[in-house]
Amino acid sequence: MHGNHGAAVIYWIATVAEPLPAVVGISGLGVHGSGMIPRRCIAVFLTGTLLFAGGTLSAGDFDAGAEAAAEGDFATAIKKWRPVAEAGNSVAQHNLGVIYRNGLGVPINYEEAAKWSLRAAENGHAAAQNNLGVMYSYGHGVPANDAEAARWYERAARQGHAAGQYNLGKSLEEGKGVPRDLLAAHMWFRLAEVNGSTRARRARIALEEELTAKEIATADDLSRDCRASDYKECNLNKPRQE
């Protein structure tokens, strides 16, 4: 069983930009060049209602890890979160992926990061799905694979995840792992923008230089339909204006 509990969670919300140089923290802090997040940008803690593993694992097991991580004691956080993650909790799995990806309290280990990010992603954690896509884009812990990256970006995007929507838009704009489709790219940029991504807004404005007014109107219709359906009916094959 899973239940609800308020606790802290680390989020590494990474976004990919041409030529895959940028990583952006959820707070909006970013760094260009290496694709790594500086330590001052990594440990971003949010308080909210999160799932925790039930059964023999109490809320205290998760919270103890959260408190340790908030104090910078990631070695203790790993010890507390690992059994929660092994029990199937996607938040703990995601947190471990972030820790190993960025070397917090442990050496950087892309393979371990990919393992935990994959588990969280398969359990439906949107941020983990986006992060796994980024790892496929960079070839960190997994073979570089643009098609697989785009697949995970789309899964995050269809949960309303702004970074996943932006990354999917970039994949569609550049034809990386998916056929190039500027109207679909515009749609996802618009959706990411509505969900708070300023980077997506800039990308959309730049992309509109390549589109006609009718194409922009069509893409906007697509984005409205997609959002109205809670991202379940994003019909990119509907008849389009010429």
pLDDT per residue as tens digits for the range 131-177: 999 999 999 999 999 999 999 999 999 999 999 999 999 999 999 99
Q: Is residue 51 very low, low, confident or very high in pLDDT (cuts 50, 70, 90)?
A: very low
Question: Of 17-26, 159-168, 182-191, 218-227, which gets the smallest average pLDDT?
Answer: 17-26
Note the pLDDT of residue 38: 36
Average pLDDT, the chain: 79
Asked if pLDDT for residue 7 goes beyond 80, the answer is: no
d(Cα 44, Cα 50) in Å, to the nearest integer? 15
Q: Is residue 193 very low, low, confident or very high in pLDDT (cuts 50, 70, 90)?
A: very high
Q: Is residue 117 very low, low, confident or very high in pLDDT (cuts 50, 70, 90)?
A: very high
The segment(s) of the chain belonging to CATH 1.25.40.10 are: 2-144
Asked if pLDDT for residue 241 goes beyond 70, the answer is: no
Helix (H) / strand (E) containing 10: strand 2-10
Its pTM stands at: 0.79
Helix (H) / strand (E) containing 101: helix 90-102
Report the CATH fold assignment for 2-144: 1.25.40
- In this prediction, residues 205-226 reach a mean pLDDT of 96
The number of beta carbons lying within 10 Å of the beta carbon of residue 75 is: 13
Secondary structure (DSSP) of 29-62: -EEESSSPPPHHHH--EEEEEEEEE-TTS-HHHH
Asked if pLDDT for residue 35 goes beyond 70, the answer is: no
